Amino acid sequence: MNKLDELFDQFYDHALTDSVKAVGPVERKLTLKTGLLNLLGDFSQLEEEMLTAKPELLEKREFPEYTRELFLFPITPLLECKMYVLTPKSEQNFYPSVLALHGHGYGVKEIVGLKENGEEDDGEPGIHQYFAVKLVKKGLKVFAPEVIGFGERMLTRDIKQGKQNSCEAMATNLLMEGKTLAGLRIWEARQVLSYMEKHPDVNADKLGMMGFSGGALVTAYTAALDLRVKATVLTGFTNTFRGSIMAMRHCIDNYVPGILNFAELPEWISLIAPRALFIEAGDKDPIFPHRSVLEAIKEIEEAYHNRPEKFAYDIFPGSHEISGRKAYDWLKNQLL
């Protein structure tokens, strides 16, 4: 064996061996949640600058089964995002609602059925499968913000260079300041949840999240930290650190310094328990390998030994993509 391979295996083993321990499961969970907040970085500066202005409606489009609205959502004077809100056409007064987070690609348009140029996309869906549209057609109200670093939320330098996203530039700058891009995205997701629960036609007791790939990372950690999330779907993410982001090249937005000193990824995801969790993964996903998916699921399943009805998964024939063949109905049933 290459001695350097052996050395880095040793680093990994020592990180887990020396990980923070706690007396019991309750204390362990509290330790992990507190540790995660610290690892993600301090964004209290943003909380001091938060605005109270209402989102501005930019456009509205009617479809046979739902209405799609585009809002400009102001968070702080320097932080705002465009967010699509999809509402079913039904006689409900209060909707169970889902925060839908896209992964790498051309941004939020990719999950609401639009091409990158904003035109309606009537062709075959890509790996995101227009999943926000699929969810609203199940009777769920869907809030789909553009994740910072993608689409129209990129830094000028990356736009000028024709890059697909600003993940690297944003992440490296934040790391130099003791913060993480994952932390900023999770902080934003929690602000959207706060907006959702106050929305006049949202049932605040029935909030869910669904995320794909990088969006699933944000979804997993947000749901772990925020008890308002009653049901969670993770696609193209559940794995072990060792089997995925430590085994091959991944976007830098996946990396949180020091996180392995607390726990491996399955234990972090298990913080969602006993609230409802569904995991789906393609059996040929090249960047979140099948073998490590099964390893993670086995550990996560143990966290639901007292509430097995709250945990389910689907390993579908496919690659790094959304399936939804079981996930959409599962999420609907958990929230209705």
Cα–Cα separations (whole angstroms), residue 36 to 16, 88, 180, 278: 16, 36, 11, 22
**Over 90: is that where the pLDDT of 301 sits?**
yes
Domains and CATH numbers, the chain: 3-335 (3.40.50.1820)
Q: Residue 316 — very low, low, confident or very high, per pLDDT cuts 50/70/90?
A: very high
Length of the chain: 336
CA angle 267, 321, 60 (to 5 degrees): 105
With a pLDDT cut of 90, the percent of the chain lying above it is 93
pLDDT in tens, 173-194: 999 999 999 999 999 999 999 9
**Contact by Cβ (8 Å): 33, 224:** yes
Cα–Cα separations (whole angstroms), residue 178 to 42, 75, 184, 254, 308: 8, 22, 12, 16, 39
Q: CA–CA separation, 219 vs 110, rounded Å? A: 17
**Over 90: is that where the pLDDT of 26 sits?**
no
- What number is the average pLDDT over the span 325-333? 98
The residue that leads in pLDDT, 21 or 186, is: 186
pLDDT in tens, 234-275: 999 999 999 999 999 999 999 999 999 999 999 999 999 999
Q: What predicted TM-score, i.e. pTM, was given to this entire model?
A: 0.96
Token code pair at residue 333: 């049933």
Cα–Cα separations (whole angstroms), residue 96 to 62, 79, 203, 297, 322: 20, 27, 5, 27, 21
In this predicted structure, what is the pLDDT of residue 91? 82
Token code pair at residue 23: 């007396």
Q: CA–CA separation, 99 vs 223, rounded Å? A: 11
In this predicted structure, what is the pLDDT of residue 22? 61
